[in-house]
Amino acid sequence: MSTIRLHRILRATPERIYHAFLTPASMAKWLPPNGYTCTVHQMDAKEGGSYRMSFTDIGTGHGHSFGGVYRELKPGAVLRYTGTFDDPNLPGEMQTTVTLTAHDCGTEVNIVQEGVPDVIPAQQCYLGWQQSLVLLGLLVEQ
């Protein structure tokens, strides 16, 4: 299992970024890495609530679906949620923690994703997250 750590400063408020993580249309716009689309099938954005979504490769049409549970939601500050792939070849439960800290120039975004299956190379996971965070910046920055 791998642990992925990411850091960004975005020119947006913590509340705006927080909202982008918990709105289905926003997630579908920024979360899928390059070459993929995202469908959010279900999202109950509250502690103990769950979500389900899928990514589809635009070239092959193949995809993977996953879901999880929101473990901690502190508006404008912290999101912590689990993630489990439906594919048995991608076993285990991941946990993602997003911490948002306001600064004069915007918001510091720290993401830690733990329990990434060994089948997914850490570098590939980093690349996908970096692509997604560029899209998040385009969505939330004004």
pLDDT value at residue 106: 96
| Phi, then psi, of 33 in degrees rounded to 5 | -70, 170
pLDDT value at residue 57: 95
CB–CB of 51/42 below 8 Å?
yes
Burial annotation 20-44 (CB, 10 A radius, 16+ → b, else e) = bbbebebbebbbbbeebebebeebe
pLDDT value at residue 25: 97
CA distance 139 to 107: 14
pLDDT value at residue 119: 87
Residues of the chain with pLDDT under 70: none
pLDDT value at residue 59: 95
pLDDT value at residue 31: 97
DSSP state of 13: -
Residues 78/84/86/89 CA torsion (nearest 10 deg): 140
| DSSP states of 42-105 | EE--STT-EEEEEEEETTT--EEEEEEEEEEEETTTEEEEEEEESSTTS-S-EEEEEEEEEETT
How does pLDDT run across 6-32, given as a tens digit for each residue? 999 999 999 999 999 999 999 999 999
The CATH H-level superfamily of 2-140 is START domain (3.30.530.20)
